[in-house]
């Protein structure tokens, strides 16, 4: 696949075109592109969290670039992948839906692109809105992507699976960042550092 084709497919996914999700599901060579795109979105949110610490918080809590951007990105990606595993287990084992792990990884990681809106959390007064929008859009895109790629999946089952997958990282990220000098937060979760 050429770079133009990859960008066109990602754009179609972001425009919520159902056929694009089916293409992602069936294209085995798109796995690393999907994971890489999600990693870029997380990296953008981590940069936003670091900028938040540098520009908004007074006094700055010392959100180091390495802690926030590098380690925060790594931890968030790992937690996202654990969340994808939970979604897969819920859909395949609990609800008995026919899915393959690699296809679901491709679809769900690509639906995490809106998390990149977390880049804008550093903007005073409206940053929190961007952070919440990133989580809400990621939630919506994930449900939409699962329903588009797997039309037989019931809406309620998709929502329950996504809720549990999101609960993994949405509860763990604030917990691991709550310890002293652990500023491994990305996106909207940087607000958990405010006392």
Question: Dmax over Cα atoms in the chain, in whole Å?
Answer: 52
Domain borders along the chain are 3-193
Write down the pTM of the prediction. 0.90
Which pLDDT belongs to residue 175? 79
Which pLDDT belongs to residue 140? 97
Which pLDDT belongs to residue 27? 95
119 Cβ contact list (under 8 Å, min separation 6)? 44, 45, 47, 48, 130
Successive 10-residue mean pLDDT values, the chain, 195 residues:
94 96 95 95 91 74 75 89 95 92 95 94 89 94 96 94 93 74 72 66
Which pLDDT belongs to residue 49? 85
């Amino acid at each position: 696949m050429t770079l133009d084709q990859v960008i066109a497919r990602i754009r179609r996914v972001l425009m919520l075109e159902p056929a694009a999700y089916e293409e992602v599901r069936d294209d085995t060579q798109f796995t690393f592109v999907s994971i890489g795109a999600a990693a870029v979105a997380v990296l953008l949110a981590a940069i936003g969290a670091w900028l938040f610490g540098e520009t908004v918080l007074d006094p700055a809590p010392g959100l180091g670039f390495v802690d926030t951007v590098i380690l925060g990105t790594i931890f968030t990606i790992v937690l996202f992948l654990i969340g994808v595993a939970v979604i897969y287990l819920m859909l395949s084992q609990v609800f008995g839906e026919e899915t393959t792990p690699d296809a679901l990884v491709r679809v769900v990681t690509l639906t995490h692109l809106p998390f990149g809106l977390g880049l804008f959390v550093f903007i005073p007064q409206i940053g929190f809105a961007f952070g919440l929008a990133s989580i809400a859009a990621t939630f919506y895109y994930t449900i939409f992507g699962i329903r588009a790629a797997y039309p037989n999946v019931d809406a309620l089952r998709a929502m329950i699976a996504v809720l549990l997958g999101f609960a993994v990282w949405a509860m763990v990220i604030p917990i691991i960042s709550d310890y002293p000098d652990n500023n491994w937060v990305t996106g909207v979760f940087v607000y958990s550092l405010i006392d």
